[in-house]
Amino acid sequence: MLNPVVISVCLMLLLSLLRVNVVLALSVSAMVGGLLSHMSLADTIASFEAGLGDGAQIALSYALLGAFAVAISRSGLTDLIANKIVSTVDKNRDKHLSRLKWLMLVAIILMAVSSQNLVPVHIAFIPILIPPLLAAFNQLNIDRRIIACCITFGLVTTYMWLPYGFGSIFLNQLLHSNIESAGLVIERSQLPKAMTIPAIGMIVGLLTAIFVSYRKPRQYKTVELIPTESETQTSTPVSKGRLVMNVVIILLALAINVYTESIIIGALCGFLMLTTAAGLRPQSSQDLFVEGVKLMALIGFIMIAANGFAGVMKATGGVPELVANAGQILGSNKMFAAAVLLIMGLLITMGIGSSFSTIPIIAAIYVPLALSLGFSELATVALVGTAAALGDAGSPASDSTLGPTAGLNSDGQHDHIWDTVVPTFLHFNLPLLVFGWIAAIVL
């Protein structure tokens, strides 16, 4: 319990629960962790700043995704979807509301899933598409915590289970390469199989949130959202021909993303093609780009700060010490060992806030330890993959929780910690712990 990583993560979570800004919470916790590990203040700051550089690529990816998402919204596609849903709710206000509620939840889950592989804009679609739907949510008295859980489910389950888009990055590029470098040889095709049972845990958590925890109606005030200047300028109807062309451009951007294996290049090409097809003047295109960057700026800063935090945690040496100390008390009890390793993964990922950034740390330590304890290849993959994903759905610094809040709090009625982080932690992290443990035992 005196490990600097444990203390830093707990402090970060406590500050976040007290509604301290997440960037400040990460920065303060990183400084405390460094000093507790007997690093000098200068070394702690240097490690923090070095970690910030590791987040530059992530921040640029999110900035370009934001610009691409804004360009998509101005193409008329998101307005068409949102207006269709809202008008359908208005026409059927006195009948079939229950059916509309379920159709809307299914649609949101499908959108979140698609954002990871079909149209890989990740969380950038949320601040664009969700705010126009808040009026429909209010009419149906839907508890927004359900929406947060639906979005987070689609974001996390997709990349940890399906090897396409972001899932290809998580499973094929990061997980596979890191477990191989740590000494475990396994075919890429086996990775989704290893993650199937943990994914089932995510499904159980989602069903619990929808049908048990937040099934009761919840009322919100109707707040009129003020459109931005660019939204006002581009609110004219779009022809069917233009819509078809925009869909083709989005699919082409997806193909470029898959071919280059670069989110940055895919988003950049998509933005350029959409703005060129719309015939925007250079100044208008620049304004659109700036608005997209602003859309994702806060999330980008939080992710940069999270990488700084991760840099300090690595420099303290607390992560391998944490797992090594756990390994000393595990003995040969595989059931107990699996539980301890997953809890350690939860603490590490909750602090770093990104499962993608956690894999290199966890794989290097967990793979030799799991193999020495007699876990099978599939069980080892399940342990590493689940431990990395644990915390992503419940960390205040995770894009999987920051994204839903960015959309649902557009009218100031959705708290990041208590309405997004706590619900997703309870309904996804806890089931992941249980089903990841089951996977490690039965595989």
**Mean pLDDT confidence for 137-164:** 90
Pairwise CA distance, residues 66 & 296, whole Å? 6
- Which burial class, exposed, middle or buried, applies to 208 when counting CB atoms under 10 A from its CB (0-12, 13-18, 19+)? middle
Rounded-to-integer distance, Cα 314 and Cα 324, Å: 14
Mean pLDDT computed over every residue of the chain:
80
Render pLDDT for 331-363 as a digit per residue (tens, 0 to 9): 667 888 888 889 877 877 776 666 776 776 677
Separation of alpha carbons 213 and 265, rounded Å: 41
Q: Which pLDDT does position 427 carry in this prediction?
A: 94
Residue 71 structure tokens: 């360009």
243 versus 427: the higher-pLDDT residue is: 427
**CA 204 centroid distance within chain:** 19
- The per-residue pLDDT for range 395-413, each reduced to its tens digit, is 887 878 888 998 899 888 9
Whether the per-residue pLDDT at 2 is higher than 80: the answer is no
Is the predicted pLDDT of residue 215 greater than 50, yes or no? Answer: yes
Q: What is the pTM of this model?
A: 0.74
> What is the C-alpha separation between 91 and 27, in angstroms, rounded?
50
Question: 10-26, pLDDT tens digit by residue?
Answer: 887 778 667 677 778 88
227 pLDDT band, cuts 50/70/90, is low
Give the per-residue pLDDT at 336: 87
Residue 126's alpha-carbon distances to 129, 169, 391, 402, in angstroms, are: 5, 21, 20, 10
pLDDT of residue 229: 47
